[in-house]
Amino acid sequence: MEEKNEIFEVKMKEKREMERLEKIGWGIFLVMLGAIWLFPDAVVPEGTFMFGVGIILLGLNFVKYAKGYRINGFTIFLGVVALIAGVFSLLGRPVDIFPLILILWGISIILGIGRKRRKRDL
């Protein structure tokens, strides 16, 4: 019975830590959004928002991974899309999001097949 209580306490601690990380992410997002809106468009380069969103999503997943928590593949995917779109826009070469999503989705399917095959071979 004591072991179940310890497992429960560990899971509750992890849940509180995850909620704390999500709140930090939302806080950073709101500060970034407010800062972008505060300055005129001439000061803030096109693509700053998407770049920032990508960094926030990937950064949160990196912190979760580093702490040994489960990461979210969907937010990693969205983070990569946002980061790529933001970088291209900052470089003056805006890219359409939908084709980018299709390309990355296709790559993830191809890589996913390779991962499943390796697991099966072990």
| Total count of domains within the chain | 1
Neighbouring residues of 87: CB distance < 8 A, sequence distance ≥ 6: 47, 51
Measured CA to CA, the distance from residue 64 to residue 93 in angstroms comes to: 32
Three-state secondary structure string covering the chain: CHHHHHHHHHHHHHHHHHHHHHHHHHHHHHHHHHHHHHCCCCCCCCCHHHHHHHHHHHHHHHHHHHCCCCCCHHHHHHHHHHHHHHHHHHCCCCCCHHHHHHHHHHHHHHHHHHHHHHHHHC
Per-residue pLDDT tens over the stretch 2-36? 777 777 787 888 889 999 999 999 999 999 999 99
Per-residue pLDDT tens over the stretch 79-115? 999 999 999 999 999 889 999 999 988 998 898 876 6
Per-residue pLDDT tens over the stretch 28-43? 999 999 999 999 888 9
Per-residue pLDDT tens over the stretch 41-62? 889 999 999 999 999 999 999 9
In which domain, by residue range, is 37 found? Answer: 2-121
The answer to pTM > 0.75 is yes
